[in-house]
Structure 1
């Protein structure tokens, strides 16, 4: 029996979900409506449905008609891919109106909104799924398998360095994410992936978090300190931006133009703001120390302006060490054809036993993004899920625990003190 879906928020991440539904899961899914603040963007999404996916146009509703949409369309599930700070609004109201929810990560951006979602789940009995596609990438699943099978014994410490390059990393400083009220900063919006992976790999939860860092590269003040003087607020229409390698040209990309530039007159959102302009209040350089319930510790760093994209991890255990290096292809979010998104240029998983020869671990990849992980996630969401020994499907509890590490990190940044995760939210388990 088909389930009916509506989708809220037709920006850059939305097509990952609705495109898969109408392309690969027509036997199990029926997409019936879009909801957004911007009619132009919904109309463009409908155009993609027709021309790219050979799917009939669906009804559209502005966000002030969200409840009307639920009443008229009677969906089983609401997909939430709106701006992060609004996730809780649609998640909670959808559940109150009798719908289950699939939400893009992060589930929300602060402790108060997290608690409101947890309370609504308990009150309504509805289900919330959070989409962590990194769990499904074969190399990440293999790490989980190696640790689960005790290859290096009990893991006592993890060192995890994530590098965002000057294409992908800079993109967070052009968009709405640059305002921490919208995104929770990179510790919530981006690092939620990474904190979830550590929870997933070690099968544990964070207990105490300490964070430090700040805005060290992007932003007007940093540029001025480096002696740069050619400032502009947004790239479109700027002569200065034409010589800026950090600028993005919306006019030259038909997809970006249709999704954002053409939609701009309706809501005023500028997708191409200068990464060295004013109004940026998120960090680009971050260090975090986490202690977990199983007594393992994590040292984590994130930098958003590096020459390469990917991550380096070391797991130190009672029987040895696992070293991982992954280099990923970078991309501009919603920049058009994303068929290469998440495909790996280079990856190495190396096991170093305490006594014995070191060896590399082969990982078998599949077709699709994140080494074949994305199709597995999408089938879990929209198809007929297969039995999964690694339990990669993420619940609202997984979603909450991952963002609570970042939320605790933000609180630590503000106070200079370590923060106990249990003090932030009552997960009611």
Structure 2
């Protein structure tokens, strides 16, 4: 039985970790401590899961006390992104294992601190890149390992975030770069990790363009230039296209979503609301990126992401010396405003006939990924799987560093070295 302390009793922590520990993995895991900066979160957690009523509560400065009193084997970090590094470093200093939500940190500098700390610690860090576990994504990895594509030369990845999901980042703390690192880190680190995992290549350099096109005070659909509004009480809510697309005047529309980070308007936190106006002037991140990333074994990534589109999904192509893989996903079909087919993978040998691969789809969050990942986390890695899928500190660091390189390139208008972002020498990378 492994004991876990929860750092950041967020909605994500409740739904992604605490609920499965209590209801699915209770024979191998248990929660022994809760830590958060907002005492209201403890109340919400224990009202939701009464079996945790006796679990002790701690504030951020009480981390050492929590560990001393409860002797956890590991900590689960699901707090605001910029606080991840603090809890990871404290846990590693005490030789504890860490499970951390992506991104591992919000800067390359903090990732370097974590890499150095883990090297000196008996504890290990797992970063929960659940996209690796989506059945389609795992199958793509298997096709590459079967040498269907050959040596990978280029990847085209275009990611689309719809107006429901995309605008939610600009209603919450994510819209402040100091808290989230910006969306090239908070969100795109998922995508950069997938590419590195699929190709088994490390990013070397990135060049990018980006902009704030839809949100912020200059957003073209802003019905009123005024800071401090909230969607639920806004006097121009019915003049806001982002609001009316997903809400009705009778408030009886329930939008299908599998992103457990979203919260109720104001019931889950003290002095914080997740329905802040998407046009506020404090927003200091981008909502649109295009980037080119170079990898250490020669692959080139052409990447784009847009956070205000009519539907959610992505288009992927992986090209190699022996063939090409293509797939198109429409994420959460119930939100796509046109009929969609079940996702498949198309394989084109460089000389030969197209093959369409139908993958068994599974239930659960993030396209069936979450339940599989949770089994690896709390039951141990599936020994039948012939490849590594759980990600560690190096994976987390390169994903964050690529995201930071992207937004730094946007600001500085020049290519940015990934090793420079991480302050790593070539020798330190090659020996890891």
Q: Decide: shared fold, TM above 0.5.
A: yes
Q: Give the C-alpha shift of residue 197 in structure 1.
A: 0.4
1:293-333 deviation digits (Å, cap 9, x = unpaired): 1111000000000011011011122222211101111899x
Q: Give the C-alpha shift of residue 367 in structure 1.
A: 3.1
| Residues 14-413 of structure 1 aligned to structure 2 (within 5 Å) | 14-15=13-14, 16-50=16-50, 56-223=53-220, 228-229=223-224, 231=226, 233-247=229-243, 261-264=266-269, 266=270, 268-329=271-332, 346-387=342-383, 388-413=385-410
Q: C-alpha separation between the residues in 1 aligned to 2:217 and 2:333?
A: 25
Q: C-alpha separation between the residues in 2 aligned to 1:410 and 1:390?
A: 32
Q: Aligned residue pairs: how many?
A: 408
What SS does the corresponding residue of 2:242 show, helix, strand or coil?
coil
CA gap of 1:331–1:89, structure 2 versus 1, over 3 A, is farther
- The answer (yes or no) to whether the contact 1:44–1:259 under 8 Å persists in 2 is no
CA gap of 1:220–1:330, structure 2 versus 1, over 3 A, is farther
What SS does the corresponding residue of 2:11 show, helix, strand or coil?
coil
With the length of structure 1 as denominator, give the TM-score of the two structures: 0.89
- The answer (yes or no) to whether the contact 2:11–2:263 under 8 Å persists in 1 is no
What SS does the corresponding residue of 1:278 show, helix, strand or coil?
coil
Q: List alignment gaps of at least 5 residues for structure 2.
A: 255-259
Q: Give the C-alpha shift of residue 345 in structure 1.
A: 6.9
Q: C-alpha separation between the residues in 2 aligned to 1:345 and 1:235?
A: 34
- The answer (yes or no) to whether the contact 1:170–1:246 under 8 Å persists in 2 is yes
1:150-171 deviation digits (Å, cap 9, x = unpaired): 2122221111000000001111
Q: List alignment gaps of at least 5 residues for structure 1.
A: 333-343
Q: Give the C-alpha shift of residue 36 in structure 1.
A: 0.7
Q: C-alpha separation between the residues in 1 aligned to 2:32 and 2:358?
A: 42
Q: C-alpha separation between the residues in 1 aligned to 2:139 and 2:319?
A: 16
Q: C-alpha separation between the residues in 2 aligned to 1:345 and 1:117?
A: 42
Q: 1:338 corresponds to which residue? A: none
What SS does the corresponding residue of 1:407 show, helix, strand or coil?
helix
Q: C-alpha separation between the residues in 1 aligned to 2:147 and 2:404?
A: 31
- The answer (yes or no) to whether the contact 2:266–2:274 under 8 Å persists in 1 is yes
What SS does the corresponding residue of 2:304 show, helix, strand or coil?
strand
Q: Give the C-alpha shift of residue 384 in structure 1.
A: 3.3
What SS does the corresponding residue of 2:306 show, helix, strand or coil?
strand
Q: C-alpha separation between the residues in 1 aligned to 2:78 and 2:126?
A: 12
